[in-house]
Structure 1
Amino acid sequence: MAQLLYLGLSFPAQPHKISASSSKPLKLVESTHGSKISISTTSKCSANRLLKTQKLNLEVSPHRAVSAVRLMRIEFGGAFADLLNEKGKGSGENEMAYVGRTLGFRTRELNDQDLRLVTDIVGGTIRWRRYLDHLISSISHDKDISSMEPLLLQILRVGSYEIVKLDMPHYAVVDENVRLAKVALRPGAGNMVNGILRKLAVLKKNESLPLPKVEGDDRAQARALATLYSHPVWMVRRWTKYLGQEEAIKLMIWNNSEPSFSLRANHARGFSRDDLVTQLNALMVPHKPSLHLDEFVRIKTGLQVVMHAGLLRKGLCSVQDESAGLVVSIVDPQPGEIIVDCCAAPGGKTLYMASLLCGQGMVFAVDINRGRLRILKETAKMHQVDGVITTIRADLRQLPDGKPLKCNKVLLDAPCSGLGVLSKIGKPGWSVSLQHVLHRS
């Protein structure tokens, strides 16, 4: 099948790679055999530039190009990092199409190692953005980086994270990000990336990064701590007030450490924890059984491997905190019971309770959000528990008068601040919507 590549930028403030005067996107059509290329354009110069750009594309690091584009999509397009991580599902299958539309060129496809790096870099950059932005603005001549070109800023964030937090070889980080900036933007942008990242690498090597000092009044100290540990100022002030500065720092350090995840084997699919352990062993994913729940297994790394193996997509298991599982264990669903889950979406506890009913009984999943309930219904089919789940879109405060329900048990896990999942922001399997709410960076 012929490959069709449209060159054009999805975001403003980026120069067009082909021709500023051209009003139509440039198309490149390549035959199946790759022997014939026809270009539709009004300028021979534009065609030459296109071919030159194509040649350079193969020299651009794919994981850095994809990381920069993903960060753009998350910050400006409201995308979710966990959905972007799943190849072949949703927007993930069009990864290079997004790269092409945003940067004006494509790179080679991501391999598994590239994808792991993308996940690490994107998640880490989100978590440490306030800290990284402080370093960039301290080194840059223009201290107000908010007015910087969006793509240029994302490239600088990616490079800064790689140098400061991943300890990658500095020469490679600088060279690859400079090349990306030059090809995606212009030579001058590459020179700017070169200057900032080289200086940052020297400062990191000499252990002299320009970090704020924790001094002054309470507000000034909170701002410094918020930068050092990349948390919102209001959150630092609240935790310091109630816990003291020492404990608040410990909590922020814990939030920024590598979290562990739990996988729940789906009993409704006839998939036991032993089956899950067998699969994890075959995938060489380190794990250990939960100390509290029979269906749960803890993993520290390897969630991406589990996702790519299709265990989540097939409904054999799901990512679920043991804390949520413990709530369900208190409800203790029994076959034949009718249970009302009052604030059900996105449905983790609903699905777990439904699996324990063994096809007998009913879980009424009540939530006010239509979209989240739709996702719950789709997941219930995948987990083969849709026969015992009935979704009801309603405001719980009005439900008793409008549609009374008779049941054996009621679970009311009311919406809270969401701070309990803060440590997992930006990690695979977890969306970053809370990030925008908290303005963590």
Structure 2
Amino acid sequence: MEPLLRQIPRLGVYELVKMGTPPHAAVNETIKLAKVALRHGAGALVNGVLQTISHDQARGELLEPKVEGDSHSQACALTDLCSHPIWMVRRWLCHFGRSENIALMDWNNKRPTYSLRANFARRVSRENLLETLNELNVISEPSSALEDFVRLSSGLHAVIRGGLMQRGLCSVQDESGGLVVKVIDPQSGDIIIDCCAAPGRKALNMAACLQKEGKIFVVDINKGKLSLLQNAAIHLGVDDVVIPECSDLYSYADRHDLLADKVLVDAPCSGLGVLSKRADLRWRKTSTDLEDMVNLQSILLRLAARLVKPGGVLVYSICSIEPEENYGQDATFLQNG
């Protein structure tokens, strides 16, 4: 069977089973898609498949893969049920067990939520931001973990239309990124180096904490992304403490004489901890990619350690849940000194 002829009915089944689209709408639109994308006769096959699924669902007889048998059989079933690649499912079954693995994949498939950071550099408090959001009829609540963050109950459309970010009142940032900044604990007067800084959300957050006293050297090899970061710093009113450095970390560590109070290694990673917001990533990553990332992270961490002054702070952060990228890196770094 042609690949596209397999994929089109799958889209229709997803609408019926997962999205709850009314059967007549899901079936008719999928038939139209098959006729346009393939040929007129393909609509008959799609119609037959989706009508059968719809009738079985209405009678409560819809068959789903059963998560049973040996580990391979369970992984295959979960791959179909939860739409994750089998290599990933196998890893997580080993690391987290069946129940936690299913909960994790269900989370990855849910619509993501967003958070906003009030821009202290523009003297915007969280209370100010909550009031402004309320005026825009945006449902939000204060973060329970961070004093400058607000959680949104809906998407970002109303926030964008209201011009809050355009005016520099806030920026979009995950609370997980805010927690990294909280660990670093930037203080007025600190000298900070942010390695692999782009796109710069954590750097801009730290810059706001410095209250115009101190410096943040933002290091990244991508000149275009650094330019965007610098423009964002101007927009948010923190450009006086943000110093862009376009360089790879090898070269930067060799030529940089000034040691920092605090160094952040926000390293490139597999990204497997943020699949709810990057749904395509699961299908573009492989286990080999993970191995390559682990090697790169280890190198970056050792280089960054050379930039910390005696008694200073080195913080390593990633957006992955893989043990090799987290505790494994910590253990290796501490063991090798």
Rounded Cα–Cα distance in structure 2 between residues aligned with 1:369 and 1:207: 54
Q: Does 1:404 align with 2:252?
A: no
- Which one of 246, 266, 280 corresponds to residue 119 of structure 2? 266
Q: Deviations over 1:133-187 (max 9, x none)?
A: xxxxxxxxx3xx52x26xx94x545433321112121112222343455456653
- Which one of 99, 107, 110 corresponds to residue 257 of structure 1? 110
Structure 1: gaps spanning 5 or more residues: 1-141, 427-431
Rounded Cα–Cα distance in structure 2 between residues aligned with 1:207 and 1:304: 37
- Correspondence list, 1:18-417, <5 A: 142=1, 145-146=2-3, 148=4, 153=7, 156-182=9-35, 186-417=39-270
SS for the counterpart of 1:212 is coil
Rounded Cα–Cα distance in structure 1 between residues aligned with 2:223 and 2:63: 47
Q: How many corresponding residue pairs?
A: 287
Label 1:182 to 1:238 Cα distance change in 2 as closer, same or farther (>3 A). Answer: closer
In structure 2, what residue type is equivalent to 1:436?
R
Q: Does 1:436 align with 2:284?
A: yes
Rounded Cα–Cα distance in structure 2 between residues aligned with 1:314 and 1:157: 43
Q: Deviations over 1:99-126 (max 9, x none)?
A: xxxxxxxxxxxxxxxxxxxxxxxxxxxx
8 Å CA contact 2:192, 2:263 repeated in 1: yes
CA shift, 1:434, in A, is 5.8
8 Å CA contact 1:286, 1:302 repeated in 2: no
8 Å CA contact 1:334, 1:356 repeated in 2: yes
Rounded Cα–Cα distance in structure 1 between residues aligned with 2:124 and 2:83: 40
Higher relative contact order (CA 8 A, sep 6+): 1
8 Å CA contact 2:270, 2:285 repeated in 1: no
- Of 290-299 and 315-324, the range deviating more from structure 2: 315-324
Label 1:269 to 1:438 Cα distance change in 2 as closer, same or farther (>3 A). Answer: farther
Rounded Cα–Cα distance in structure 1 between residues aligned with 2:24 and 2:103: 34
Structure 2: gaps spanning 5 or more residues: 288-337
Rounded Cα–Cα distance in structure 1 between residues aligned with 2:231 and 2:272: 27
Label 1:208 to 1:394 Cα distance change in 2 as closer, same or farther (>3 A). Answer: farther
Match of 1:4 in 2: none
If the length of structure 2 is used for normalisation, what is the TM-score? 0.74
Rounded Cα–Cα distance in structure 1 between residues aligned with 2:232 and 2:55: 49
SS for the counterpart of 1:412 is strand
Label 1:230 to 1:291 Cα distance change in 2 as closer, same or farther (>3 A). Answer: same
Rounded Cα–Cα distance in structure 2 between residues aligned with 1:239 and 1:216: 17
8 Å CA contact 2:84, 2:282 repeated in 1: no
Label 1:396 to 1:225 Cα distance change in 2 as closer, same or farther (>3 A). Answer: same
8 Å CA contact 1:259, 1:300 repeated in 2: no
CA shift, 1:273, in A, is 1.4
SS for the counterpart of 1:318 is strand
In structure 1, what residue type is equivalent to 2:52?
K
Question: Share of identical aligned residues, percent?
Answer: 50
Rounded Cα–Cα distance in structure 2 between residues aligned with 1:302 and 1:199: 35
Rounded Cα–Cα distance in structure 1 between residues aligned with 2:193 and 2:153: 33
CA shift, 1:281, in A, is 1.1
8 Å CA contact 2:113, 2:155 repeated in 1: no
Rounded Cα–Cα distance in structure 1 between residues aligned with 2:275 and 2:125: 30
- Of 191-200 and 385-394, the range deviating more from structure 2: 191-200
- RMSD over aligned CA atoms reads 2.7
Rounded Cα–Cα distance in structure 2 between residues aligned with 1:335 and 1:421: 31
